[in-house]
Structure 1
């Protein structure tokens, strides 16, 4: 499965991943407040940020290595 189809699959099926939808009855701001007040949600958000930063650094490092390799 290539990256594009995997990303599309994840986007299409993400609404099915609600762990406890009954806590989000207050609208968007209540949902954000709930996500920021639960330690398990904060841990998952932190993991996502760390993985995003690590992925961005890896992509940049590979791109700069490619550019340097072409200069030789």
Structure 2
């Protein structure tokens, strides 16, 4: 999975949230630590929209700001 954002700080914050959620699953015992690392390894953060060129599916999750949506698309 590729996650694209316009700011590195946003990517860092998003990945930290994902890790925190997976950490909770490990603490509860519903996920093994090695599974956590395997899942995180599947995520590629980037600032480059060109990384989406070969994507089979793209989910847009931009704030409801028309100017921002037009800039992206």
Query: Taking structure 2 as the reference length, what is the TM-score of the superposition?
Result: 0.33
Q: Could you tell me the TM-score, scaled by structure 1's length? A: 0.33
Report 1 or 2 for greater relative contact order, CA contacts < 8 Å, sequence distance ≥ 6. Answer: 2
Q: Which has the higher strand share?
A: 2
Larger CA Rg, structure 1 vs 2: 1
